[in-house]
């Protein structure tokens, strides 16, 4: 059973999603700090499905496209270029492992990748498996537009996918020794 953490409250959700993050320079500066926002102050992000060596894998209950998932860096940086080389390789490896596994699971026409951090300035990569006839054909994806609500079984399938990946990495490392 996976519990997807909710937004703390509706007011915060509205502020987070509709421009609140940039509304004041002081608030934004605070938000960029390690202990300033959700991921690092809580120790892990909301909606965690599982974890890999360099990342947590998360999703939301309600998502823009079926299969949406997010890979969140365990190291706090705002910009990807701020990650030291080893950590950068680790984060990218996790992102691509999740993208490939998700691709195998959901069989999209095309996987889409997005890194913004305008609301949550802690490095994370959104993965959107795109399908013919999804809600965003011919226009940019909008994370605020909900077009699918995950069932418990779907969340479990995603969680199992991440668990398998975590195991696979461990197994692979074992073979190298």
Sole binder of Zn ion in the list 21, 31, 38, 39 (CB under 5 A): 39
Q: Work out how close the CB of 122 gets to Zn ion at its nearest, in angstroms, rounded to a whole number.
A: 3
Size of the site for Zn ion (CB under 5 A): 4
Q: Work out how close the CB of 87 gets to Zn ion at its nearest, in angstroms, rounded to a whole number.
A: 13
Residue 122 touching Zn ion (CB under 5 A): yes
Phi first, then psi, for residue 25 (nearest 5°) are -60, -35
Residue 52, token pair as written in the block: 């890999």
Q: Work out how close the CB of 39 gets to Zn ion at its nearest, in angstroms, rounded to a whole number.
A: 4
Q: Work out how close the CB of 16 gets to Zn ion at its nearest, in angstroms, rounded to a whole number.
A: 15
Sole binder of Zn ion in the list 76, 95, 106, 150 (CB under 5 A): 76
Angle, helices 85-106 vs 152-176, to 10°: value is 130
Helix (H) or strand (E) holding 48: strand 48-51
- The answer to whether the beta carbons of residues 141 and 128 sit under 8 Å apart is yes
Stretch that binds Zn ion, among 6-14, 21-29, 34-42, 132-140 (CB under 5 A): 34-42
Stretch that binds Zn ion, among 51-59, 92-100, 119-127, 136-144 (CB under 5 A): 119-127
Residue 74 touching Zn ion (CB under 5 A): no
> CA Rg, the chain, in Å?
16
Helix (H) or strand (E) holding 91: helix 85-106
For residue 10, count CB atoms less than 10 angstroms from its CB and return exposed for 0-12, middle for 13-18, buried for 19 or more: exposed
Smaller CB separation from Zn ion, 29 or 109: 29
**Residue 159, CB-side half-sphere exposure with 13 Å CA sphere:** 16
Q: Work out how close the CB of 166 gets to Zn ion at its nearest, in angstroms, rounded to a whole number.
A: 21
Sole binder of Zn ion in the list 16, 20, 32, 40 (CB under 5 A): 40
Binding residues for Zn ion, per CB under 5 A?
39-40, 76, 122
């Amino acid at each position: 059973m996976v519990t997807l953490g909710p937004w703390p409250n509706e007011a915060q959700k509205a502020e987070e999603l509709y421009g609140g993050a940039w509304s004041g320079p002081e608030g934004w500066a605070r938000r960029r700090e390690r202990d300033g926002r959700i991921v690092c102050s809580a120790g892990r992000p909301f909606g965690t499905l599982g974890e890999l060596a360099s990342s947590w894998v998360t999703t939301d209950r309600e998502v823009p496209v079926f299969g949406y998932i997010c890979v969140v860096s365990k190291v706090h940086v705002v910009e990807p270029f701020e990650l030291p080389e080893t950590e950068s390789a680790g984060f990218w490896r996790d992102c691509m492992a999740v993208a490939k596994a998700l691709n195998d699971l959901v069989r999209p026409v095309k996987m889409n990748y997005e890194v913004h951090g305008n609301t949550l300035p802690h490095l994370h990569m959104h993965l959107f498996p795109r399908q013919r006839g999804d809600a965003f054909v011919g226009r940019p994806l909008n994370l605020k537009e909900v077009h699918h609500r995950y069932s418990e079984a779907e969340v479990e399938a995603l969680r199992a996918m991440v668990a398998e990946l975590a195991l696979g990495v461990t197994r692979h490392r074992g073979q190298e020794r």
